Amino acid sequence: MDSLDLEVLTRARDWLHAGHRVLLATVVRTWGSSPRPPGALLALRDDGRAVGSVSGGCIEDDLIHRLRRDGLPPQAQSVSYGVSAEEARRFGLPCGGTLQLVLEPLAGAAALDPLLERLARNELVTRRLDLASGHATLGAGSADQALHFDGSTLISVFGPRYRLLLIGAGQLSASLARIAGALDFAVTVCDPREEYSDEWTVPGTTLTRDMPDDVVIAMRPDARTAVIALTHDPKLDDLALMEALKSPAFYVAALGSRRNNDVRRERLREFDLNDAQIARLHGPAGLYIGSRTPAEIAVSIAAELVAVKNGAAADSLLNVRDAKQALDIAADTLSSCAAGHD
């Protein structure tokens, strides 16, 4: 679930409680180069106010026009846009793009309260909507579930599908936690050091003061889990990394210079990790963007985290280690050329 969609649900809930009627639009199916994926949300208020997105803006404009002209539909229904080339041009869809939406008039001020209460507890939730009756029910979700629509029933999945464990509660962790929260990760921060953990104030995160390796074991990392060590303290980082690298976690990374991470890899070999497991460590963490400040470093790490999550090809990325090696080679070449002209 995208954090933007959580904002849509929250705003829609607030509008309902303020006495407005609200139409919720959900992308349920796409063909070709559609602008937004299945599950994307748009909420329309009865006066035409909108939050969220299902396209680049043209479809939203058409829905707002329909709402102002006809009011909310009497019951949930599905509509399609971009079926023909003419419609694709009219609604600004990419070439060949087609969207199918479910339009749901929300019934009652409390229509979204139970869903948002469960999302506030970081639960993964399914919402089953029967289009004929307009009745919606909630259930427990699983990370591998996807949106399902069969023409009469819409099953949407809400809540964080990915988890991120940050080792260390310093300034960099705070910046990264905020970015990860916006990317819809359920963020846990682990730091047994009171001088750091007592000052942790990032909302929407879970703080634990247990030892990092114990936390990794307790979390049982799976293919939707990432672990990033940020303390610079081997006593905290190394044991946690050892457990994470033996797990199916899709991204395991550590802060530090290239030299520090080379030394770290040698230490990890002493824990009987094999070469394949050690090779999974992203260190130094992040993509090369010339970052200097904690916020910039957080952007760098978040970029690599998302790239790995989305399966971006490794040869299309420039990580910190490779970029700095390239810069070193370039600097040596320039130095040699300058010396040759002396």
Which of 131, 158, 185 marks a domain boundary?
158
Sheet holding 136-140, edge to edge: 136-140, 125-130, 153-158, 148-149
Which of 105, 139, 158 marks a domain boundary?
158
Query: In Å, what is the CA distance from 26 to each residue of 76, 78, 149, 157?
Result: 11, 9, 11, 12
Could you read off the pLDDT of 44-61 as tens digits, one per residue? 999 999 999 888 677 898
Number of domains present in the structure of the chain: 2
pLDDT of residue 35: 65
Residue 330 domain-assigned?
no
pLDDT of residue 36: 75
Residue 58 domain-assigned?
yes
Query: In Å, what is the CA distance from 66 to each residue of 19, 92, 104?
Result: 21, 17, 14
**Domain match, 297 and 176 both:** yes
Residue whose tokens read 């940050």: 166
**Domain match, 140 and 226 both:** no
pLDDT at 77 over 80: yes
**Domain match, 174 and 136 both:** no
Positive or negative torsion for Cα 288, 289, 293, 297: negative
Compute the distance between CA of residue 52 and CA of residue 8 in angstroms, rounded to an integer.
6
Compute the distance between CA of residue 330 and CA of residue 81 in angstroms, rounded to an integer.
52
Contact 205, 217 (CB under 8 A): no
**Domain match, 107 and 186 both:** no
Which structure tokens are listed for 73?
A: 């539909």
- What is the pLDDT confidence band of residue 72, given thresholds at 50, 70 and 90? very high
**Domain match, 199 and 254 both:** yes
Which of 113, 139, 158 marks a domain boundary?
158
> 25 φ, ψ to 5°?
-110, 130
Residue 327 domain-assigned?
no
Sheet holding 162-167, edge to edge: 206-208, 185-190, 162-167, 225-229, 251-254, 281-282
- What is the pLDDT confidence band of residue 144, given thresholds at 50, 70 and 90? confident
First to last CA, the chain: 61
Instruction: Name the residue range of residue 145's domain.
Output: 3-158
Q: pTM, whole model, 2 decimals?
A: 0.68
**Domain match, 152 and 175 both:** no
pLDDT at 248 over 60: yes
The CATH number assigned to the domain holding 199 equals 3.40.50.720
**Domain match, 192 and 50 both:** no
Residue 24 domain-assigned?
yes
Could you read off the pLDDT of 270-315 as tens digits, one per residue? 888 999 999 999 999 999 888 889 999 999 999 999 999 988 855 5
Residue 123 domain-assigned?
yes
Which structure tokens are listed for 251?
A: 């991204």
Where is average pLDDT lowest: 33-42, 64-73, 188-197, 198-207? 33-42
CA gyration radius for the chain? 24
